[in-house]
Amino acid sequence: MRQFSPWWLRMPFIGTVLDTLGTELDIAVEEQLDGLIQGNPLKCDADALPKIGVNRTMRRYSTETEAAYRARLAKWRQAYKIDGSHKCQLEQLRLYLAPETPIMHIVHQMGDGSTATWHSMDEFGRYSRDIVTPSNWDWDGVPERWSRYWAIIHVDALSTVEQPMRWDAADEWDSGVIWDGYFTADKIADIVALLEDWQAAHTKLWGVILATDPASFDPTGSGAGYPDGTWGYPTNDAGDPTRLDTAIYSYDLGQADAV
């Protein structure tokens, strides 16, 4: 400021005043810039994230990484524009699971049981919807509970998940990695909480399925044991398969808990 001032403002005393004013302005600009940075979830200090989360009403889940939470907070406007939709749920789940990028589906059945609607997101984050008639999803023979939905995560391509993951015998799991590794009980609980946080008020999450066979749960496919909510570990009393042995039914409200 002194350098670009007229000569009579460069005198010792006036110059000191100008230097002081300049310093105060520098401090004010730096504080303003720091404030802007601390309000940006992608650039702020870690201790600012909880405050941004409260402001944007987006909580951090117990198993969520800092990078994933920053990414979700940064896209809060886009999320709230479609809040309550299955597309929003899939996008939030994709950000939460990053850097893993599994193929995911959310499926529900029409009240008369004639049609199933599949909402899908591929490994590149592209969203699509398939309406299948006749329905290829009948969980428990009670299609009139149309507000229920199921989330399916294809974990076959996840680098952190051991393969194969399937039942060895009636109540025996081959390695326990699904609970002791990437998909711990806490992570499953967080996935359930995230889906419920972003669901429409009239809908109900009925199950979370982890699929290890990439060919299973094709939105346009069907077959024995395809959805089948019968609980049998993994056969019924007649010894017939009731659920795919390549899928892990990690969360299931079950017909007894129907509302």
DSSP characters for 62-95?
TT--HHHHHHHHHTHHHHHHSTBSHHHHHHHHHH
Q: Can you tell me the distance from the alpha carbon of 221 to that of 215, in angstroms, rounded to the nearest whole number? A: 9
Residue 5 has pLDDT above 80, yes or no: no
Q: Is the residue at 120 inside a domain?
A: yes
Query: For residue 57, what are the domain limits?
Result: 11-81
**216/209 Cα distance (integer angstroms):** 11
User: Do 133 and 38 fall within a single domain?
Assistant: no
Q: What is the mean pLDDT of residues 128-143?
A: 86
Tell me, yes or no, whether 2 lies in a domain: no
pLDDT at residue 39, rounded to an integer: 67
Mean pLDDT of the chain: 79
- With respect to residue 41, please indicate whether it lies within any of the assigned structural domains: yes
The answer to the question of residue 253 being in a domain is yes
Does 113 lie in the same domain as 64? no
Q: Is residue 5 part of a domain?
A: no
Give percent above pLDDT 70 in the chain: 69
In terms of domains, do 231 and 117 share one? yes
> Is 103 contained in some domain?
yes
Number of domains observed in the structure of the chain: 2
Please report which helix (H) or strand (E) contains residue 95, including its range.
helix 86-97
Examine the fold and report which residue of 81, 109, 136 is the final residue of a domain before the chain moves on.
81
SS3 category, 178: helix
β-pairing, 204-211 vs 148-154, is parallel
Specify whether 104 is located in the same domain as 211: yes
Residue 114 neighbours by CB under 8 Å, 6+ apart: 133, 134, 135
Residues 196 and 122 in one domain: yes
Do 143 and 98 have their domain in common?
A: yes
Same domain, 97 and 189: yes
Examine residue 40 and state whether it is found in any structural domain, yes or no.
yes
Q: For residue 107, is it within any domain?
A: yes
30, 51, 81 - which closes a domain: 81
Kindly state whether residues 250 and 124 are assigned to the same domain: yes
Say if residue 90 is in the same domain as residue 72: no
The Cα 247–Cα 8 span in angstroms is 83
191 or 164, higher pLDDT: 191
Is the same domain home to 130 and 244? Answer: yes
Cα(184)–Cα(177) distance, integer angstroms:
8
How many other CB atoms are there within 10 angstroms of residue 218's CB atom?
A: 15
Q: What is the pLDDT of residue 259?
A: 36
55 plus 166 within the same structural domain:
no
For residue 230, the number of C-alpha atoms closer than 13 Å in the C-beta half-sphere is 17
Question: Tokens representing 250?
Answer: 């990690």
pLDDT for 73: 94
Give the whole-angstrom CA distance, residue 241 versus residue 224. Answer: 8
140-162: pLDDT as tens digits? 778 888 899 999 999 876 655 55
From residue 174, give the alpha-carbon distance in Å to each of 166, 168, 179, 198, 246.
Answer: 7, 6, 11, 34, 12
Please say whether the dihedral angle defined by the alpha carbons of residues 236, 203, 251 and 105, taken in this order, is positive or negative.
Answer: positive
pLDDT digit string, tens, across residues 78-95? 999 999 999 999 999 999
Residues 224 and 131 in one domain: yes
Pick the last residue of a domain from 32, 55, 81.
Answer: 81
